[in-house]
Structure 1
């Protein structure tokens, strides 16, 4: 896509439409889909409709500063890229593309455990600040191994995701028969062939694509019916003791992702966690879970300003970021939108996604008469939704 055509994409919704046109149906659904009836996926976006702003334009905001600080890192805006598995399926070197785009935009990037590239290869881009996602595995030694590799590769924070102890029932993927590596039978090849641009870009990667961080001595863990599936490695019996053990291993910022309940946020602080991400995994795990923005006020109240509270889920406009900040979030994360940008134009597509968010956040702050992110407060809300008693 030419730079001129990319600049004509003016919203995340428009980027999603372009991504749908660029990708085979099964690959698009991998990014776009969620669990079961996808109620939580829809609620992640629709819940923002319940939050109305009361702008104060006469406060005067000719110049706006969107920057903020997280764990000692100055970010150019209160938005970063969250972890998404298999970004390298949407564009060759997808994870590296997104990380470079984030760094160029002055913000942070979090690598998924399920990245196509290894965490070491991502570190070689020099993109920073960068965070690494880990899980609690039945083999606690593997959890420790990934953590120590992240430390050795200079990652700036560790994101322990806790809402994936069971595999979500993602029915789009089931209907599509989606597998990693992708099956390349006649039906699958026919479906890919109608997207020749994607197929041509991915022609070298497809036969061997997989989860780079699960390679051992140059050989990936087999993911077929006879092999060890990653889902089987996750431990539903994980508990606070595992958080304590991880805290002893990891010396940098430890972030807990997948927190919705205020009690869990309080306990996280007691167990040495440095930040929480209010998240329902993009609706991909428990359908029926509260949206991130609905759960945010309760978590903010529970932590009482002791740690930063981040939030993700359904953030499709800059005004959604502003709404979240007014409700007490320190910053927001986006995931699907950067995959849409990747699918459309690789690194340039992700850069455009971030540019769209930045422009929209800036415009909303200007309308509200706010010059600094820290000045966004509840006085700008018509009502406080889902207020906790």
Structure 2
């Protein structure tokens, strides 16, 4: 029996991809990807708490072939994980959202596009044959919200994800020390960092400077970088409360998911509103440092809300075993952001393919080892 990876055996883990990506990405771009709020304790906590989740193998159980496929919102996916939304993906690696969207379609897993990513709704719809999800940063003006929803309906977006965990922007010390702003400024320091990463620089020249492609129709032509930053602050500095989610539920005819839920109060409000699912997330530790890890939030919420809607998770997962741990704790599905960006940063156009294949191989090995034929069987292996 061989567990050799299909693509690049030199990079059999997310950690290997991360090391390679750090050597290929400019420091300001890598720091933007890595950075967490304040002292980054919750970034560490998200990853560390997964390590304490243990599974019990049952070696004498009758074995069948592992089938990792799952049904979610009327679609059968090849594995119980997908690609989480990441802002400014094209800054970290040119054309990153396009690379990952195409890989997601090829491997039949969901890809979530962020409002503040660097490819447009329409571009990703073409690349994924409309098999994509969209994460909405709720704008202050309802007219802008309504137009974005119209565009999503026009391209038959599968699932709308409303982000609720950014009532204010996190204080990320790495970005402050680096002088990194949204969008990034053209500084001498950033230019020098880019010059030391020639592959990134050449690919960026070919692709063009990244921009908020989905939001371009709402920006004044000729807007310079300083004005663009003000536009973003003025447009998306609004808090999302239950009434705003309820209004979207009334407007959106498709599947609706709320991302950023970690408390019983919010989980209950989501049930009352009638959403189709929640993603337990703390924004990868980028918004609050004094919060609990997502796996701890999952273990609290799954008992009471598993029967009300689909419960998914992101933030902190770094491997196939972590996906298995999340499912064993009751999650219906898992999403990962940074690992896929490491993959693209390390391997460019092949990074999406490799990272998906790698995670599938890791998850399959865990399921074979604990003798689980299907992902939904994993809770029976959890050591409580």
Q: TM-score range by the shorter chain?
A: over 0.9
User: Could you tell me how far apart the structure 2 residues matched to 1:284 and 1:185 are?
Assistant: 24
Q: Secondary structure at the match of 1:228?
A: helix
Q: Secondary structure at the match of 2:260?
A: strand
Match of 2:302 in 1: 300
- Label 1:262 to 1:217 Cα distance change in 2 as closer, same or farther (>3 A): closer
Match of 1:209 in 2: 210
Deviation at residue 347 of structure 1 after TM alignment = 3.4
User: Could you tell me how far apart the structure 2 residues matched to 1:226 and 1:122 are?
Assistant: 23
Give the TM-score of the pair, scaled to structure 2: 0.93
Deviation at residue 135 of structure 1 after TM alignment = 2.1
Deviation at residue 329 of structure 1 after TM alignment = 0.3
Divergent runs of 4+, >6 A: none
User: Could you tell me how far apart the structure 2 residues matched to 1:280 and 1:322 are?
Assistant: 20
User: Could you tell me how far apart the structure 2 residues matched to 1:347 and 1:74 are?
Assistant: 26
User: Could you tell me how far apart the structure 1 residues matched to 2:205 and 2:309 are?
Assistant: 45
Match of 1:184 in 2: 186
Q: Secondary structure at the match of 1:159?
A: strand
Q: Secondary structure at the match of 2:11?
A: coil
| Segment drifting more, 26-35 vs 48-57 | 48-57
Is 2:140 the partner of 1:138?
Answer: yes
User: Could you tell me how far apart the structure 1 residues matched to 2:222 and 2:297 are?
Assistant: 38
Match of 1:381 in 2: 382
1:1-389 correspondence runs (5 A) = 6-127=8-129, 129-205=131-207, 208-216=209-217, 219=221, 222-224=224-226, 228-377=230-379, 379-383=380-384
In the TM superposition, what whole-angstrom CA distance separates every residue of 1:143-167 from its partner, at most 9, and x where no partner exists?
A: 2221111111111010000001210
User: Could you tell me how far apart the structure 2 residues matched to 1:369 and 1:330 are?
Assistant: 19
Equivalenced residues, count: 379
Q: Secondary structure at the match of 2:135?
A: strand
- Label 1:182 to 1:71 Cα distance change in 2 as closer, same or farther (>3 A): same
User: Could you tell me how far apart the structure 1 residues matched to 2:324 and 2:20 are?
Assistant: 26
Match of 1:387 in 2: none
Contact 2:279/2:314 (CA < 8 Å) preserved in 1? yes
Q: Secondary structure at the match of 2:93?
A: coil
Deviation at residue 260 of structure 1 after TM alignment = 0.3
Q: Which runs of 5+ in 2 are unaligned?
A: none
User: Could you tell me how far apart the structure 1 residues matched to 2:308 and 2:80 are?
Assistant: 18
- Label 1:237 to 1:81 Cα distance change in 2 as closer, same or farther (>3 A): closer
Q: Secondary structure at the match of 1:158?
A: strand
| Segment drifting more, 157-166 vs 179-188 | 179-188
Q: Secondary structure at the match of 2:128?
A: coil
Contact 1:312/1:332 (CA < 8 Å) preserved in 2? yes
Contact 1:59/1:370 (CA < 8 Å) preserved in 2? no
- Label 1:114 to 1:316 Cα distance change in 2 as closer, same or farther (>3 A): same
Contact 1:103/1:128 (CA < 8 Å) preserved in 2? no
- Label 1:127 to 1:315 Cα distance change in 2 as closer, same or farther (>3 A): farther
User: Could you tell me how far apart the structure 2 residues matched to 1:133 and 1:226 are?
Assistant: 21
User: Could you tell me how far apart the structure 2 residues matched to 1:314 and 1:217 are?
Assistant: 34
| Segment drifting more, 95-104 vs 234-243 | 234-243
User: Could you tell me how far apart the structure 1 residues matched to 2:103 and 2:129 are?
Assistant: 9
Deviation at residue 8 of structure 1 after TM alignment = 1.7
- Label 1:65 to 1:269 Cα distance change in 2 as closer, same or farther (>3 A): same
- Label 1:32 to 1:267 Cα distance change in 2 as closer, same or farther (>3 A): same
| Segment drifting more, 87-96 vs 280-289 | 87-96
- Label 1:105 to 1:88 Cα distance change in 2 as closer, same or farther (>3 A): same
User: Could you tell me how far apart the structure 1 residues matched to 2:383 and 2:306 are?
Assistant: 23
Contact 1:167/1:231 (CA < 8 Å) preserved in 2? no
Q: Which runs of 5+ in 1 are unaligned?
A: 384-389
- Label 1:174 to 1:220 Cα distance change in 2 as closer, same or farther (>3 A): farther
Contact 1:107/1:129 (CA < 8 Å) preserved in 2? no
- Label 1:205 to 1:220 Cα distance change in 2 as closer, same or farther (>3 A): farther
